[in-house]
């Protein structure tokens, strides 16, 4: 393995860590209806866990309503159970064919709680980025110890690695700032 390969692998993992933070942020409700609130829910469909978006059409007719129309009407009960088990805090109502989720506006206290949750998620993202950095740094040190690369190459690689980490931490911080603003606006 070369320095370039170690850095490339680390950057790929960092991209995935940033995408995971984005995915988690998309599941935080901001008082506006969005399909991303429910499409990642796991529904027990005939004993097999499936994503809700694979079982139903999800639409948002207005800012405070999500409509879920299962392709198989028999799945409606399981979809409702999955929504109730999730921590969305929304009670579904169904008419036998479709499920409606009325997204209530958030209280100021709930917004503050969500900001804390978002901060915790972003910190977890930063921690995973630092873990990736540590692993890549150890790999570079091992390459130097095994005499595959020189000490200078190791230090150049570590410097490049730190630049990648700084770039992805800045991206996570930007995501946090935007999500925090979105959660706090009425």
- What ranges do the domains of the chain cover? 3-26+107-184, 35-102
- Class for the domain spanning 35-102: alpha beta
H or E element in which residue 57 lies? strand 56-62
Q: Is 5's pLDDT higher than 90? A: yes
Burial track 17-51 (b if 16+ CB lie within 10 A, e otherwise): bbeebeebbebbbbbebbbebbbebebebeeeebe
Find tokens 């499409």 and name the residue: 39
Residues 45, 78: contact at Cβ < 8 Å? yes
CA distance 17 to 130: 10
Q: Is 29's pLDDT higher than 70? A: no
For residue 70, the model assigns a pLDDT of 92
Give one DSSP letter per residue of 82-136, joined into a string.
HHHHSSS----EE-SS-EEEE-PPPPHHHHHHHHHHHHHHHHHHHHHHHHHHHHH
Instruction: Give CATH superfamily name and number for 3-26+107-184.
Output: Ribosome-recycling factor (1.10.132.20)
Mind listing the pLDDT tens digit for each residue in 137-153?
999 999 999 999 999 99
3-state secondary structure of 61: strand
Q: Is 87's pLDDT higher than 80? A: no
Q: Is 62's pLDDT higher than 80? A: yes
Q: Which residues, listed in sequence order, are joined to residue 62 by a DSSP beta bridge?
A: 65
- Mean of the per-residue pLDDT values for the chain? 89
Q: Which residues, listed in sequence order, are joined to residue 94 by a DSSP beta bridge?
A: 99
């Amino acid at each position: 393995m070369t320095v370039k390969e170690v850095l490339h692998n680390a950057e790929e993992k960092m991209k995935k860590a940033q995408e995971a933070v984005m995915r988690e942020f998309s599941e935080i409700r901001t008082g506006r209806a969005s399909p991303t609130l429910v499409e990642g829910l796991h529904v027990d469909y005939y004993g097999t866990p499936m994503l809700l978006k694979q079982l139903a059409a999800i639409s948002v007719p207005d800012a405070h309503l999500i409509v879920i129309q299962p392709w198989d009407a028999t799945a409606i009960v399981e979809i409702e159970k999955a929504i109730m088990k999730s921590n969305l805090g929304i009670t579904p109502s169904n008419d036998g064919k479709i499920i409606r989720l009325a997204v209530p506006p958030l209280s100021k206290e709930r917004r503050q709680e969500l900001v804390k949750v978002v901060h915790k998620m972003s910190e977890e993202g930063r921690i995973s980025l630092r873990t990736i950095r540590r692993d890549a740094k150890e790999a570079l040190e091992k390459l130097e110890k095994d005499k595959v690369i020189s000490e200078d190459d190791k230090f150049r690689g570590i410097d490049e690695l730190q630049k990648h980490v700084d770039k992805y931490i800045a991206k996570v911080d930007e995501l946090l700032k935007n999500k925090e603003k979105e959660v706090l606006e009425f």
